[in-house]
Amino acid sequence: MADILYKYKTSVYANITNKCNCRCTFCIRFLKDGVGDADTLWHQVNPTKEEVIEAIRGYNFEGFDELVFCGYGEPTCALDILLEAARVAKEEKGLKTRLNTNGLGNEENGRNIVPELAKVIDSVSISLNAPDSAKYESVTRPQVEGAFDKMVDFAGKCKEEIGNVKWSIVDVLPEDQIEACKQLSEKTGIELRIRHFT
């Protein structure tokens, strides 16, 4: 079985599913099998909720204070696992929890999931990827209609209910797109993190 929990740089990550509703052109899954100390993040069969909980309960988090939900798939595509795993991480391990997401979880689950996330997730990082719908569609190739607007709406709801939310882009975007992302960030009041492409 692939690693459910793995270390990368200064954090521990949870790889709870390989399901995803995008097919991003830059996705690391298409470049290599593993990240950090994980040999592979490809599950032969996606883990059950019980397997994820067991992995968290049995993991030594000494030296770490946060569990980040981010792997070779979109965590909100396994929402019931995400919610329970985050609850266990907080209540039993005393960890902070962060969700790294494409922001399409409401559409994926057919309802506003943010109130449920707010109970167990401390911070949210959403991949913005592009400043407008056309560019977003071409880069992320989502299986969701109107994905850009839905992602922006999700980000706004996270800001209202969770508070600690950031958009992220990588610095390979052309300067005009980075500038447009900054303007969207200012307009919405959602902080923008510009990551260096490695």
Q: How far is the CB of 73 from ligand SF4 (least distance, A)?
A: 6
Q: How far is the CB of 20 from ligand SF4 (least distance, A)?
A: 3
Q: How far is the CB of 22 from ligand SF4 (least distance, A)?
A: 4
Of the two residues 88 and 108, which places its CB atom closer to ligand SF4 in the complex?
108
Of the two residues 139 and 178, which places its CB atom closer to ligand SF4 in the complex?
139
H-type helices in 20-146, by residue range?
Answer: 49-58, 79-91, 105-109, 114-118, 133-140
Q: How far is the CB of 60 from ligand SF4 (least distance, A)?
A: 27
The answer for 135, left when phi > 0, alpha when psi is -120 to 50, beta otherwise, is alpha
Sheet order of strands, 66-69 included: 5-8, 11-14, 66-69, 96-101, 123-127, 165-170, 191-195
CB-CB contact of 194 with 170 (8 Å) = yes
Residue with tokens 């459910």: 4
CA dihedral 194, 12, 161, 93 (to 10 degrees): -160
Residue ranges that bind ligand SF4, judged by CB under 6 A? 20, 22-24, 27, 29, 73-74, 102, 140
| Residue 47 φ/ψ, nearest 5 degrees | -65, 155
Q: How far is the CB of 127 from ligand SF4 (least distance, A)?
A: 6
Of the two residues 88 and 181, which places its CB atom closer to ligand SF4 in the complex?
181
Of the two residues 88 and 102, which places its CB atom closer to ligand SF4 in the complex?
102
Of the two residues 76 and 185, which places its CB atom closer to ligand SF4 in the complex?
76
Contact partners, residue 145, CB within 8 Å, separation at least 6? none
Of the two residues 23 and 57, which places its CB atom closer to ligand SF4 in the complex?
23
Q: What is the Cα–Cα distance from 26 to 164, expressed in whole angstroms?
A: 26
Q: How far is the CB of 21 from ligand SF4 (least distance, A)?
A: 7
